[in-house]
């Protein structure tokens, strides 16, 4: 027998309708190139989203068509999220930090029909537009008076587009399982893979992130997402904040600027923020240098990479609780949050210093287990470590246009995270290692394989390997290890680093180069990264 409750579809349009009626006067403040503090209300934001959607409805798009964005965190990006997804299109957020060849690959693989871009990215996009045949128009996110001259074919001014639409636009009814957003993640092997979120998965994830032991978002909060909207939908903040009625503060392209972030926190009375460890190092450096405080801030969530204890302890001194969050693009992204500080009194100082470093406990909705190499489940004893598998309504079941792509490599119905972890009897998960070899610098992936490919192209190099190595600012930076070829006796580290110029993104260039006589190999001839990491365990980058 079925229950007799209404079968209301969980779609993003319901957030718009709720926020317009219930949270309409809450503010959204943005830093943009045109205005250091653009401010308006949710009601105005969603009215403009409807105008934008109406304008887009004349483009002859089909439901499910991809609308890409190459944009910072700001109000126009927020409007585009909702205008595209609530119209039944898929908002494909692209990471502008990717190398142009990857951008071309992603735009073509996603078959993006229109691309919305911040003027900052015009030089990048002008160079690749000719290689993107599916794109019918490029929307430059600027006002008419700030619209830059561009060689882009069919360049459209964002504000003119919005002005051409009606705010009376009504959202079409959608199935909750329809796709709403797409985000590519770059792995160790081959090309980036697309994670395709549904309205339902996004809604359930947003609900879950609001819970007290997760991000704890309420109407009383002022939320500053320093996690990019182009990387897993800024951890769901653009959805959860209008649900809760929390004020949103968008940092625009100032995500790496400690001074602006501290000014935003203090001027806008930010209570809650989320970002990768690198961001918090910048904020702390500014606080120390300026003697400022951040008294409104009650909590930050640090994720994307392991958080050093020093960050948490320094924030203790400012009266800010630093919570670790763990997740991944394939998990929308949130899997666990560490809210152990809320039970601080139940731990000794020593135990607390240990427990707070862990990834945290799974939020309701995420199931997890650890397995050994044979796939046998391991105990939750805090010591046994194995491959971490997860499942839940906001976990990816397979990648976009890559059916059978191995999301379920180990066991049907479970997603293999690629992380190695322990889980203790209370459910605290701790990442101990990564089964993948990609490197994570400042929260962003660097593909070791691509860097190695460029390095081994050098005529004086016999063999090369790249490993991620601890860096105090970026969490991890690539360290290149080279075996010189027969003609390479005079090859220097400087020669090697210059070789990367123009061949890969600048920030992918190795931090340092070390030379060895030979690299450790497996029986099948593969370089043993684990052994290499062990060899360079005590290494320190000079900068």
What is the distance between the alpha carbons of residues 42 and 276, in angstroms, rounded to a whole number?
A: 27
Q: To the nearest whole angstrom, how small is the minimum distance from the Cβ of residue 357 to ligand AMP?
A: 9
Q: To the nearest whole angstrom, how small is the minimum distance from the Cβ of residue 304 to ligand AMP?
A: 5
Name the helix (H) or strand (E) containing 501: none
Kindly name the residue from 445, 474, 499, 508 that is annotated as catalytic. 445
How many CB atoms neighbour CB 448 within 10 A?
23
Q: Which residues bind ligand AMP (CB under 6 A)?
A: 185, 232, 303-306, 324, 326, 328-329, 333, 359, 417-419, 431, 434, 445
CA-closest candidate to residue 188, choices 449, 408, 525, 507: 449
Looking at beta carbons only, is 119 or 325 nearer to ligand AMP? Answer: 325
Looking at beta carbons only, is 171 or 326 nearer to ligand AMP? Answer: 326
Active site residue 524: no
Q: To the nearest whole angstrom, how small is the minimum distance from the Cβ of residue 237 to ligand AMP?
A: 15
Active site residue 526: no
Phi, psi angle pair for 133, to nearest 5°: -65, -20
How many CB atoms neighbour CB 480 within 10 A?
25
Q: To the nearest whole angstrom, how small is the minimum distance from the Cβ of residue 158 to ligand AMP?
A: 28
Looking at beta carbons only, is 102 or 185 nearer to ligand AMP? Answer: 185
Kindly name the residue from 11, 32, 93, 185 that is annotated as catalytic. 185
Could you tell me whether strands 66-70 and 114-117 are parallel, antiparallel, or unpaired per DSSP bridges? parallel
Looking at beta carbons only, is 24 or 308 nearer to ligand AMP? Answer: 308
**Residue 360 CA: distances (Å) to CA of 210, 306, 320, 328, 434:** 16, 12, 18, 14, 17
CA-closest candidate to residue 200, choices 179, 170, 231: 179
Q: To the nearest whole angstrom, how small is the minimum distance from the Cβ of residue 101 to ligand AMP?
A: 19
The answer to whether 136 and 154 are in contact (CB under 8 A) is: yes
CA-closest candidate to residue 296, choices 326, 273, 323: 273
Q: To the nearest whole angstrom, how small is the minimum distance from the Cβ of residue 302 to ligand AMP?
A: 7
Sign of CA dihedral 336, 342, 348, 349: positive
Active site residue 176: no
Strand order in the sheet with 475-484: 461-471, 475-484, 512-515
Active site residue 440: yes
Kindly name the residue from 440, 452, 499, 511 that is annotated as catalytic. 440
Looking at beta carbons only, is 55 or 305 nearer to ligand AMP? Answer: 305
Looking at beta carbons only, is 31 or 196 nearer to ligand AMP? Answer: 196
Kindly name the residue from 330, 450, 452, 476 that is annotated as catalytic. 330
Catalytic residues: 185, 330, 440, 445
């Amino acid at each position: 027998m079925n229950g007799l409750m209404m079968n209301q579809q969980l779609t993003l349009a319901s957030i718009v309708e709720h926020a317009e009626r219930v949270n309409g006067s809450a503010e959204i403040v943005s830093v943009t190139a045109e205005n250091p503090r653009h401010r308006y209300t949710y009601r105005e934001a969603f009215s403009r989203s409807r105008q934008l959607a109406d304008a887009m409805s004349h483009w002859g798009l089909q439901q499910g068509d991809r609308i890409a964005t190459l944009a910072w965190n700001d109000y126009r990006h927020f409007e585009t999220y909702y205008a595209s997804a609530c119209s039944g299109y898929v908002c494909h957020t692209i990471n502008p930090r990717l190398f142009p060849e990857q951008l071309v690959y992603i735009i073509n693989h996603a078959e993006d029909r229109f691309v919305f871009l911040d003027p900052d990215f015009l030089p990048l996009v002008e160079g690749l537009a000719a290689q993107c045949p599916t794109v019918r128009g490029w929307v430059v996110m600027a006002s008419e008076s700030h619209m830059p001259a561009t060689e882009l074919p069919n360049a459209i001014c964002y504000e003119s587009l919005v002005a051409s639409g009606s705010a009376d636009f009504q959202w079409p009814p959608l199935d909750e399982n329809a796709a709403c957003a797409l985000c590519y993640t770059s792995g160790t092997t081959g090309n980036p893979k697309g994670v395709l979120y549904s309205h339902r998965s996004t809604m359930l994830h947003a609900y879950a992130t609001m819970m007290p032991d997760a991000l704890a978002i309420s109407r009383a909060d002022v939320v500053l997402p320093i996690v990019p909207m182009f990387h897993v939908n800024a951890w769901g903040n653009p959805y959860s904040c209008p649900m809760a009625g929390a004020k949103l503060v968008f940092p625009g392209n100032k995500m790496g600027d400690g001074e602006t972030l501290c000014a935003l926190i203090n001027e806008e009375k930010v209570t809650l923020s989320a970002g990768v460890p690198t961001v918090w190092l910048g904020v702390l450096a500014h606080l120390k240098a300026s003697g400022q405080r951040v008294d409104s801030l009650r909590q930050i969530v640090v994720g994307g990479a392991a958080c050093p204890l020093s960050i948490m302890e320094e924030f203790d001194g400012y009266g800010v609780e630093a919570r670790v969050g763990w997740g991944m693009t394939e998990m929308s992204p949130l899997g666990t949050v560490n809210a152990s500080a809320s039970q601080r009194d139940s731990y000794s100082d020593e135990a607390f210093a240990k427990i707070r470093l862990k990834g945290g406990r799974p939020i309701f909705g995420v199931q997890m287990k650890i397995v050994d190499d044979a796939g046998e489940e391991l105990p939750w004893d805090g010591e046994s470590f194995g491959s971490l598998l997860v499942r839940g309504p906001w976990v990816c079941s397979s990648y976009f246009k890559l059916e059978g792509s191995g999301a379920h490599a180990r066991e049907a119905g479970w997603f293999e995270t690629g992380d190695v972890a322990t889980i203790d009897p209370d459910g605290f998960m701790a990442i101990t290692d990564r089964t993948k070899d990609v490197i994570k610098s400042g929260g962003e992936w660097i593909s070791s394989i691509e860097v190695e490919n460029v390095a081994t192209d050098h005529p004086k190099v016999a063999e090369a390997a790249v490993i991620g190595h601890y860096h105090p600012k970026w969490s991890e930076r690539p360290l290149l290890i080279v075996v010189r070829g027969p003609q390479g006796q005079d090859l220097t580290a400087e020669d090697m680093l210059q070789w990367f110029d123009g061949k890969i993104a600048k920030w992918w260039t190795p931090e340092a180069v070390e030379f060895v006589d030979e690299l450790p190999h497996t029986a099948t001839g593969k370089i043993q990264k684990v052994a290499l990491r062990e060899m360079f365990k005590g290494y320190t980058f000079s900068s």
